């Protein structure tokens, strides 16, 4: 097993559609372990997104600039194109961070971790549990609550809540934003 303390950079991949306080919790705690965290915003062609990849990156950048708890000089936000393991290799990182909310996330995340380890046994995956108060939270739940007119301000940063309100007040749906 690799000694993760010797690695300076970790990659935190996800779709972040949209980013929630749970995602930010995992990012903040990752920064307490690593000198730098690369937030890799993924785009799965089989998955419908509310926000385009470029918009998700812009929103995360805006949040990082406003969040005083995050040293945004230690975070880089990129558009992940292609295989995660290839990207991790390309920046000479050795650690992938995956957030977990509940046991139900674990099976899927374990599959990904084993697959990534099969592709490159030098890359470690670290699972981080989100804070208990965010353990129920998912981007899907946030979008659904917002779509139905609910208040998501305790679940996402202000800029995300505002963007969701704009989208759903216009009656737009996932397909119109692709």
Catalytic residue ranges: 23, 47, 101, 139
* Backbone φ, ψ for residue 11 (5° rounding): -110, 130
Give me the residues paired with residue 40 across strands: 13, 78
Residue 26 backbone class (left: φ over 0; alpha: ψ -120 to 50; beta: rest): alpha
Are 79 and 42 spatial neighbours (Cβ–Cβ below 8 Å)? Answer: no
Q: How far apart are CA 49 and CA 102, in angstroms?
A: 23
CA distances from residue 32 to 37, 42, 73 in whole angstroms, order as listed:
10, 24, 14
Q: How far apart are CA 160 and CA 95, in angstroms?
A: 28
């Amino acid at each position: 097993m690799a000694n993760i303390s010797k690695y300076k950079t970790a990659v935190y991949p996800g779709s972040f559609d949209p980013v929630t306080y749970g995602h930010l919790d995992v990012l903040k705690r990752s920064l307490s372990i690593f000198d730098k965290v690369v937030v890799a915003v993924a785009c799965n062609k089989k998955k419908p997104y509310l926000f385009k990849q470029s918009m998700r990156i812009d929103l995360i950048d805006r949040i990082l600039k406003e969040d005083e708890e995050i040293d945004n000089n230690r975070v880089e936000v990129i558009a992940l194109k292609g295989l995660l393991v290839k990207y991790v290799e390309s920046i000479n990182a050795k650690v992938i961070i995956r957030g977990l909310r509940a046991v139900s996330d674990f099976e899927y995340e374990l599959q990904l971790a084993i697959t990534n380890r099969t592709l490159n046994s030098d890359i470690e995956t670290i699972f981080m549990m989100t804070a208990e108060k965010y353990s129920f939270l998912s981007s899907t739940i946030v979008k659904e609550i917002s779509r139905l007119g609910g208040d998501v301000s305790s679940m996402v940063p202000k800029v995300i809540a505002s963007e969701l309100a704009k989208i759903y007040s216009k009656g737009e749906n996932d397909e119109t934003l692709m």
